[in-house]
Amino acid sequence: MNNSQPFSDLKAIYHAAIKRVDPYAMVKSRVTLDNNTLKIRLDDQEKCLCLEKFKKIYVLGAGKATAPMARAMEEILGPKLSGGLISVKKGHTDTLNKIKIIEAGHPVPDENSASAARQIIDIAAKGDETTLFINLISGGGSALLACPGEYADTAITLADKQKTTESLLACGADINDINRVRKQLSGIKGGKLARHMYPATSVNLILSDVVGDDLSAIASGPTAPNFTTFTQALGIIKKYGLSTGLPPRAAKMFESGAMQKTDKDHISDDIIFSKVHNILLGNNLSALNAARQQAQSLGYNTLVLSSRITGEAREIAKVFSGMAQDIALGNLPPQPPACVLAGGETTVTITGNGKGGRNQEMALSFLQALEAGPTGIENIFFLSGATDGNDGPTDAAGAFASQTVLEAGKKAGLDINEYLSRHDSYTYFDRAGYLFKPGPTNTNVCDLQILIVT
């Protein structure tokens, strides 16, 4: 096998995974309109909804994958669609006719995020028993719908939400903890969109970017019951040492809610959610299964580790590197040519001022471990990539790591330890020439790690 072949295979395996979780294709393959019956095919059953009783049908939504989902719903519903609005990350758009698109900020919300939330709430509030809302929800929705919440006599601002979000992202908090806090600060997430829509009926098509596929965590669960309390959210703030840096109004809201010691901060009303139908369309495991099939078709002995990898990116990288070395030395299966696959969402606790994301940091840490490992092993190739095509606040999905990349870095005079110390993985791989830039994929099901040993 020539030296460039493994890199081509890494890309092919990644793109096969992305194709499987293409939002447009998933909606078109699962949702059909038969006369006046909307049919949604699940893995082991079919959900049917008669449309005759609905005078108005609106499509709402938020997330990085929402635009192609909306295009599919426009084609499926045709003239039955009354209109709608979705909020997407800037650049993650599509061509729509009846559904308005707002491009908003991610991962930190902006004014467009707030405007989108206000407009969606306005549409939702006008619904009645003869209204059907079809909500399209995918990863990124938490930032793309920002409705500053209020509790008792305290109301927060968009700036409060922005500062809280930035602090949570920088401290290494996992996505579940981040969303538990964001739900309590929001007037639309944590089941509150369901409250705004009631007494209308809603069908919510969801693409998961959350490890474990907890519906209350995906986009902070706008249509799912919320069982997080202010007390729990305050505990998360303290857990990551953010109490002193929290905006005063946000801190007051958490403390006031926690002191009340009531369940008023729960949104789990049975009547409201009796009109809500949440349906999971795709997840990280779907992507991994497609990646496995592609790797096998390329001749690799393939192993899928898990779709639930979490933890510090640089520590997880060491696990992959150790596994790679064992496979290369013949100590562990699968035998070369081997491909090991995993997915999930790691974190980075930022202590420097560099540029990068969790996938680039993982690749750079893998490269560091490769450099420190046994000599003479040149048949290890690694790619860590975000399925949405954007790793952190960068235009790269991730980066490659191998002996070839290591040599390119040395030739460019790059010190891995120096770049890791300031979390500047993007700059390292940019200068070495091994960033992975597939562009926005318009889907989002966490991250993929692909390890090849030839």
How many angstroms separate the CA atoms of 71 and 265, rounded? 35
pLDDT, residue 61, reads 97
| pLDDT score, position 1 | 41
What residues contact 20, with CB distance under 8 A and at least 6 apart? 282, 286, 287, 289, 290
- The full set of domains in the chain, from first to last, is 5-13+285-453 (3.40.1480.10), 22-147+186-228+266-282 (3.40.50.10180)
Q: What is the pLDDT of residues 422-454, one digit of tens each?
A: 999 999 999 999 999 999 998 999 999 999 999
Q: So what's the pLDDT on residue 263? A: 47
Q: pLDDT for 144-158, tens place per residue?
A: 999 998 887 888 999
Q: What band does 262 get if pLDDT is binned at 50, 70 and 90?
A: low
Q: What is the pLDDT of residue 254?
A: 85
Cα–Cα distance measured from residue 227 to residue 249, given in angstroms and rounded to the nearest whole number: 22
Report the distance separating Cα 204 and Cα 180, nearest Å. 20
8 A C-beta contact, residue 214 and residue 205: no
Please give the order of strands across the beta sheet that includes 435-436.
301-304, 338-344, 447-453, 380-386, 398-402, 435-436
pLDDT digits (tens, 9 = 90+) for 267-314: 557 789 999 999 999 999 999 999 999 999 999 999 999 999 999 999
- How large is the average pLDDT for residues 61-76? 97
